[in-house]
Amino acid sequence: MTIALLSGLRHLSGRRALLAALGLGALAALALPPLHAVPVLLLAVPGLLALLDGAGSWKRAGMLGFAWGMGHHIVGLYWISHALLTDPWRWGWLVPVAVPGLALPLALYVAAVAVVAWRAPPGWRRWLALAGAWTLAEMLRGVLFTGFSWNLMGSVWAFHPLPLQGAALVGTFGLSLATVLLAGLPALERRAVAAGAGVLLLAAGAGAWRLNQPLPAAPGVNLLLVQGNIQQEAKWREDQRWPIFRRYLDLTRDGVARAPAGVPLAVIWPETASPFLLPNDPDARRYAAESLPPGGVLLAGSVRADWGADGRPERVFNSLSAVGPGGTLLGFYDKTHLVPFGEYMPLRGLIPIRVVQGGLDFSSGPGAVAMTVPGLPAFSPLICYEVIFPGAVVPASRPAWLLNITNDAWFGWSAGPFQHLAAARLRAVEEGLPLARAAQTGVSAVIDAHGAVAARIGLGETGSVLAPLPGALPPTPYSRFGAWIAGVLAAAALAGAMPLRANGSTQRIIFWNSRKS
C-alpha cells in the first residue's frame, strides 16, 4: 500500500501535487506535542520525497517544499491566534493573518531544504540530502532574524524520557536528523526499513541504560512552584492587581505550610506574576516576604523599570526578582531574548499597528548569567521562550540547575503550553541539569536531568507543588560541544548525498587523465 501511494504521489502534478504537499505537512504536525503521533512521519516524510522525485525543476521542488512547510507550521502553530483573542475587539481581525503570516517565513526554510534535496539523485542520496539539509535549516532558524527554535523535529520524542536520552549526546538538532532519516526509510527498500528498526532498538537500549544510571544526590533544597492560573484578559486590569497579588500570597502560604522545617526553600512565581514592580516597590516586596518561612527566598517574575527624572519610566524590563527576608531585593535578572511583536515592535515606524501592550517596548537584558542567591545553588534564569533555544540556556559558568518562568496564559488551552514544556524537557537532557518551570496557567513542573517530570501542576489548575531540587549530572557531550556534533553529522549526510556527477567534474577528470596517458 505504501509503495502504491508513493508511486501515485510521484505522478501528481500541478495543484494536486501542491495540495498533497500541504496535506502531508499538516499530517506531520500531528507528531508534535501534545499528540506525539510519531508514526504519521512514516508517510509525511516519504511522501515529500516522492513529490520531489516527480518535480521537474528546482523551482517546482521549492514550491512543493513551501506547501509542505505551510501545512506543517499552520497546524503546529495554530495556537498563536489565541493571544490575539485576549483582546478580540482590537486584534481579532488579525486572527486569519497571524498564523499564516508566521508560517510563511518558516515554510521558506522547508522550501530551501526541498531544493537542496531535489538536486541530489533520487533514492538514498535524496533521502540523505533531505535529512542533512533539514537539520542545518533548523540550526539557521534558531539564529536568523532573532531566531525561532519552536517545534524542532526532535521534539516529537518528548512524550517520555527514554527516547530523549540521545539529546545528551547530539542535542535536539541531532534528534531531528535521526528523526528525518528514520521517517524517510519507507521511501527506500525494505532492508533499509529493517535496518532502521534495528537502530531504533539499539537507541532504546542505550536510553534505558542511561535512565538506569542513578542521579547524583540532591543538593538539599526544596522548591515550591506556585501557579496562580490568572487568565491573560484579567492580568493587567487595575481592579485585579490586589486580588491577583493576594492569590499568589495565599497560595504561597498554603504551600509553605506543607514544607518541612529546616530545609532551604525557594518559592517560585511565574513570569510577570506580580502585578506590582517588585524591584521598584519595597512595600510589595515586604508583603511578599511575609509569606516566606525563615530563610526562604522568593524567585518571582515581575516587570522592572528604570525611572527618569520626571518620574516616568524610561525603560522597562521583563525580569526575575529574588526577594529575601524583610523584603530585601537579593538580585534580579532581565530577560535577554525578547519576543518580536509580543515584547517589542520590530521595524518601528514602518508597521502601522502596535500589538505590544503599553507605551514602551521592553528592553533587553545583558545576557545569560549564573544567578547566585544566598542559600541556593547557582541557577540559570530563563524567562518565557528563552528556554526553547538549544545551546543558549547555560552561561560560561555552569550552574547547578535551570529555572524557567513563563506566562503561557497567552496560549490558552491549546498545544502551545505542551510544546513549550517539551522544549524545557529537552534543555534539561541536553545540559544534564534539572529544571524548574513555573507557568502562569500551566504546565508548571520540576524536571530532573534525565528529562523525567518529578512533579507538576496541570494546565488550567490553580495551586502549588512542593518538590526537592534534583541533582545535576556531570557535563554532557552536548553541553561541552554544543551543536557541533549534530552540525558535522548533518553536513556529512549532505556531502554524502552530493557526489560528483558523471556528466560534470568526474567526466572531465577522466577525459584529462586519458589524454595524459
Which residues share a beta bridge with 444?
A: 457
Q: Averaged over 24-44, what is the pLDDT?
A: 98
pLDDT in tens, 115-156: 999 999 999 999 999 999 999 999 999 999 999 999 999 999
Q: Categorize the per-residue pLDDT at 410 as very low, low, confident or very high, splitting at 50, 70 and 90.
A: confident
Residue 238 annotated in active site: no
Predicted confidence at residue 128, as pLDDT, reads 97
SS3 at position 367 = coil
Mean pLDDT (the chain) is 92
Predicted confidence at residue 392, as pLDDT, reads 95
SS3 at position 459 = coil
Q: Are strands 463-468 and 435-439 parallel, antiparallel or unpaired?
A: unpaired
SS3 at position 138 = helix
CA-based nearest residue to 318, from 331, 337, 299, 340: 337
Q: Categorize the per-residue pLDDT at 511 as very low, low, confident or very high, splitting at 50, 70 and 90.
A: very low
Pull the grid cell for residue 128.
540523505
CA-based nearest residue to 10, from 43, 44, 42, 54: 54
b (16+ CB within 10 A) / e for 431-453: bbbbbbbbbbbbbbbbbbbbbbb
Q: Averaged over 80-96, what is the pLDDT?
A: 81
Predicted confidence at residue 238, as pLDDT, reads 87
Residue 516 annotated in active site: no
> Catalytic pick from 138, 343, 384, 386?
384
Pull the grid cell for residue 62.
521549492
pLDDT of residue 419 exceeding 50: yes
Percent above pLDDT 90 for the chain? 80
Higher confidence at residue 307 or residue 260?
Answer: 260
Count of residues making up the chain? 517
pLDDT in tens, 423-456: 999 999 999 999 999 999 999 999 999 999 999 9
> Catalytic pick from 138, 235, 271, 343?
271
- How far is residue 292 CA from its own chain's centroid? 32
Report how far residue 432's alpha carbon sits from residue 421's, in angstroms, rounded to the nearest whole number: 17
Predicted confidence at residue 89, as pLDDT, reads 75
203 Cβ neighbours under 8 A, 6+ residues apart: 163, 166, 178
Q: Categorize the per-residue pLDDT at 510 as very low, low, confident or very high, splitting at 50, 70 and 90.
A: very low
pLDDT in tens, 263-296: 999 999 999 999 999 999 999 999 999 999 999 9
Q: Categorize the per-residue pLDDT at 508 as very low, low, confident or very high, splitting at 50, 70 and 90.
A: very low
CA-based nearest residue to 235, from 267, 282, 274: 274
Q: Which sign, positive or negative, has the C-alpha torsion 266, 269, 271, 277?
A: negative
> Catalytic pick from 235, 335, 386, 430?
335
pLDDT in tens, 337-367: 998 887 877 766 556 565 556 567 889 999 8
b (16+ CB within 10 A) / e for 271-296: bbbbbbbbbbbeebbebbbebbbeeb
SS3 at position 341 = coil
Q: How far is CA 408 from CA 346, 374, 415, 478, 498, in A?
A: 22, 29, 11, 28, 43
Q: Categorize the per-residue pLDDT at 504 as very low, low, confident or very high, splitting at 50, 70 and 90.
A: very low
pLDDT of residue 83 exceeding 90: no
Residue 384 annotated in active site: yes
To which H or E segment does residue 321 belong? strand 313-323
Percent above pLDDT 70 for the chain? 94
pLDDT of residue 95 exceeding 90: no
The answer to whether 448 and 470 are in contact (CB under 8 A) is yes
Q: Which amino acid is at 191?
A: R
Lowest mean pLDDT among 40-49, 187-196, 278-287, 307-316: 307-316
Predicted confidence at residue 506, as pLDDT, reads 39
The answer to whether 321 and 271 are in contact (CB under 8 A) is no
pLDDT in tens, 185-233: 999 988 999 999 999 999 999 999 999 999 999 999 999 999 999 988 8
Predicted confidence at residue 507, as pLDDT, reads 40
- Order of strands, sheet of 265-268, starting from the edge strand that comes earlier in the sequence: 329-334, 313-323, 297-307, 265-268, 222-227, 463-468
Q: Averaged over 72-90, what is the pLDDT?
A: 87
Predicted confidence at residue 374, as pLDDT, reads 94
Backbone angles phi, psi at 439, to 5 degrees: -115, 145
pLDDT in tens, 224-258: 999 999 988 888 788 899 999 999 999 999 999 99
